[in-house]
Homo-oligomer: A and B are copies of this chain.
């Protein structure tokens, strides 16, 4: 039965086992924040953990590298995130940005086997830049094919396939298990970008026999603006993967100050420089919260929120850009509209924060830890109002400014 009144949406919230989690976040009153797929909200505990890191810095000074566990943070937090990804201990490390980590992972894969890189031409731009740079470095072809032809293009001769699991514009989700298998069947490795997947959908990297994966932590994982990114490397490949940017934190014995490089035996070899401890502190608080949560509940609520939003926006004259089929969708709903930018700005003025992606996408992220069912009702009501009044045509929305 479809809920058809605000009261019924409120009742869904009252019955939602995840509803109490919202209290763990610091959110502006009255705001309907549907952009947690760009920057996740702040877990209250992040403030405390940062205060603790500040105290470790000011009081413990250099000794905090040992005494406060700073030196192990990249692997400690990596192992924690690994539990959300379906990874074993020592398969995930934290550091650098998604872009840098993708560069490392693609380079490591191409060092193992030289040949064309295949990717989705709708991939996140920076992924395309990085894949292009790595292809050029190794003197191999970068094959860009439409996302819906990626599976068909996985042919013998391809060395590495790389794609973003959940598309940032539409939320379209690829079949990780099937595509990874298709790559393996032709002898290729697959490097996944999980930026819009971790914390959004259940993941089982080892179940899908994934080789390498990278992702950010500031979206669904709520790690804070520009929080350290992660690299996953399957245990079976550890000995064969070379970090193209070998730095002391990836050395087997970093504090021996050895003038020759011996990589750590596991995924730690993908680390390079000194980790950003303050950013890591906020991230660890966010991940500790995630580890108390059942991702299956998150997924079922995400699907329910999306379906309700899609239903409630029917008749608005918007074209659904996201797959209607939940199993093909991450945790967002996108619509196409010729004035998508103005639409998103006009909505923000009435307290609903979504996001615009060029050229014509209005994107609404669903973050079940702090997004309520009633938010879907209220957001759709406000969207309807903006569309009816055409406030999106206001001249103040003409100059576009962007955010990550």
**Which A residues fall within an 8 A CB radius of B?**
26-28, 31, 33, 35, 38-39, 41-42, 46-47, 50, 53-54, 57-59, 61-66, 70-71, 96-100, 103, 121, 125-126, 128-130, 132-133, 137, 216, 218, 224-229, 244-248, 251, 254-261, 272-280, 282, 348, 353, 355, 357-358, 400-404
- Give complex CA distance A401, B66 in Å: 8
Q: Is the CB of A99 within 8 A of B248?
A: yes
Closest to A28 in B: B59
Q: Is the CB of A245 within 8 A of B54?
A: no
With a 10 A CB-CB cut-off, give which of A63, A246, A278 has the most chain B CB atoms.
A278
Q: Is the CB of A225 within 8 A of B70?
A: yes
Q: Is the CB of B62 within 8 A of A226?
A: no
Q: Is the CB of A248 within 8 A of B54?
A: no
Q: Within 8 Å CB of A245, what residues of B?
A: 99-100, 103, 130, 133
Q: Is the CB of B62 within 8 A of A35?
A: yes
> Are A125 and B229 CB-contacts (below 8 A) given A28-B61, A41-B61, A61-B39?
no
Q: Is the CB of B277 within 8 A of A226?
A: yes
Q: Within 8 Å CB of A66, what residues of B?
A: 401, 403
With a 10 A CB-CB cut-off, give which of A42, A245, A275 has the most chain B CB atoms.
A245
Closest 8 CB pairs of A and B: A255-B402, A97-B273, A99-B247, A225-B277, A99-B273, A26-B58, A65-B403, A42-B58
- A125 touches which one: B121, B227, B251 (CB < 8 A)? B251
17 further contact pairs, Cβ within 8 A, besides A42-B54, A99-B248: A26-B58, A47-B54, A62-B403, A65-B225, A96-B100, A97-B273, A100-B273, A125-B251, A126-B272, A129-B248, A129-B261, A133-B245, A226-B277, A228-B276, A255-B403, A257-B402, A276-B279
> Are A277 and B100 CB-contacts (below 8 A) given A125-B257, A129-B247?
no
- A225 touches which one: B57, B97, B129, B256 (CB < 8 A)? B57
> Are A132 and B261 CB-contacts (below 8 A) given A99-B247, A224-B278, A277-B224?
yes
- A96 touches which one: B64, B96, B125 (CB < 8 A)? B96
Closest to A400 in B: B255
- A353 touches which one: B58, B59, B61, B229 (CB < 8 A)? B61
